């Protein structure tokens, strides 16, 4: 397996990310060394929150939450998934699969021998992390998730499966805005959500220089019309990483990727979200059966205004009968950034309650 490693200087001077790096090297199935990064902040004897990110972000997503959490006495462990952030980046599309990410992160978890964990995750962090909990349950005392789940779709109509596959293989060229228009309609109830999410899947894979910084800046930041238009010109030219007019957020989410060859993880992983039956079906079933009997605390803490995941919360609650639902706090898909205080307070109370 060919591995790419982002130079350290790419992360110099990022706003709001003063955290010291920690690295763990695991072995992949073919014997390749894979280095996984995590941050470890807060009192070493405090209760531990394992906080996992999704796609296309990295542990920077938790930068605003960490001060709230650590000041309350919580120790925060936040890894970067392989392919993201300061972790190594396998270079081939074939290196990335749902199962590989689960296996890599379980190996990372075991290598660090983390115990007595409260888990929290969003987006792909939940898909991967919930499978980690099911594999290593004795390491976890509480589980919380939001804007994520364990998708299990054995009964998708055949016509939907055919339409998704044909769309992914089509020559249609998507822009960030034509893609986002469709994704925002995922919870409309007018069509199968997979027929909307496929736009994100196709856009990510077809866009060689995936504009991670631009996309995250648009979703999570406040940008003037002029700066948006100028940066969009660079996106249209396929050189978004090289815009000299990027916001601090855009710089943070472009930092892990010196050039497009480093972006295979964010490009490939959306296609592995099991919105239609795929090779993950059996493992998803096993994990969901595990959570059906989970008798430790489980908190569902969704934003409530995220069209990508609004429809998933009810499935999470049905999957785990022991789950409790927290009040919706808003903030959209990446509410770790837009609602850091509110989300931190919910998690602090969850961690500390008996």
d(Cα 233, Cα 248) in Å, to the nearest integer? Answer: 18
Bridge-based pairing state of the strands 22-27 and 33-41: antiparallel
Query: Do residues 245 and 231 lie in contact, with contact meaning Cβ atoms separated by under 8 Å?
Result: yes
Using a 10 angstrom Cβ sphere, with 0-12 exposed, 13-18 middle and 19 or more buried, the burial of residue 129 is: buried
Active site residue 123: yes
Lay out the sheet containing 22-27: strands in order across.
22-27, 33-41, 75-79, 48-52, 117-121, 140-145, 298-300, 323-325
Q: Is 16 helix (H, G, I), strand (E, B) or coil?
A: coil
Active site residue 315: no
Pair of tokens at residue 172? 């249609």
Q: Out of 88, 95, 123, 209, pick the active-site residue.
A: 123
The candidate with the shortest Cα–Cα distance to 11, out of 23, 1, 20, is 20
Show Cβ contacts of residue 7 under 8 Å, excluding neighbours closer than 6 positions. 258
Active site residue 328: no
Q: Out of 37, 38, 192, 333, pick the active-site residue.
A: 333
Catalytic center residues: 123, 306, 333
């Amino acid at each position: 397996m060919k591995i790419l490693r982002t130079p350290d200087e790419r992360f110099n001077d990022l706003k709001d990310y003063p955290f010291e790096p920690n690295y763990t090297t695991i072995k992949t199935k073919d014997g390749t060394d894979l280095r996984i990064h995590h941050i470890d902040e807060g009192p070493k004897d405090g209760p531990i929150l394992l906080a996992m990110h999704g796609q296309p972000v990295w542990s920077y997503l938790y930068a605003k939450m960490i001060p709230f959490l650590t000041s309350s006495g919580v120790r925060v462990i936040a890894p970067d998934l392989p392919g993201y952030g300061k972790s190594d980046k396998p270079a081939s599309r074939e290196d990335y699969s749902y199962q590989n990410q689960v296996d890599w992160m379980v190996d990372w978890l075991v290598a660090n021998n983390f115990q007595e964990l409260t888990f929290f995750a969003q987006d792909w962090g939940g898909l991967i992390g919930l499978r980690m909990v099911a594999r290593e349950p004795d390491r976890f005392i509480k589980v919380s998730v939001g804007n994520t789940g364990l998708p299990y779709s054995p009964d998708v109509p055949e016509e939907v499966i055919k339409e998704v596959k044909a769309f992914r293989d089509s020559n249609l060229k998507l822009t960030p805005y034509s893609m986002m228009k469709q994704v925002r309609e995922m919870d409309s109830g007018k069509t199968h959500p997979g027929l909307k999410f496929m736009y994100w899947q196709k856009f990510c894979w077809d866009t060689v220089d995936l504009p991670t910084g631009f996309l995250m800046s648009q979703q999570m930041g406040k940008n003037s019309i002029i700066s948006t238009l100028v940066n969009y010109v660079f996106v249209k030219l396929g050189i978004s990483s090289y815009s000299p007019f990027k916001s601090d957020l855009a710089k943070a989410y472009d930092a892990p990727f010196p050039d497009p060859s480093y972006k295979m993880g964010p490009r490939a992983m959306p296609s592995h979200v099991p919105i239609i039956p795929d090779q993950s079906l059996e493992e998803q079933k096993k994990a969901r059966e595990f959570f059906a009997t989970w008798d430790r605390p489980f908190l569902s803490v969704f934003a409530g205004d995220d069209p990508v995941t609004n429809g998933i919360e009810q499935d999470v609650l049905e999957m785990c009968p022991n789950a409790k639902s927290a009040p919706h706090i808003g903030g959209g898909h990446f509410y770790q950034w837009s609602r850091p205080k509110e989300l931190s307070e919910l998690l602090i109370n969850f961690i500390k309650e008996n």
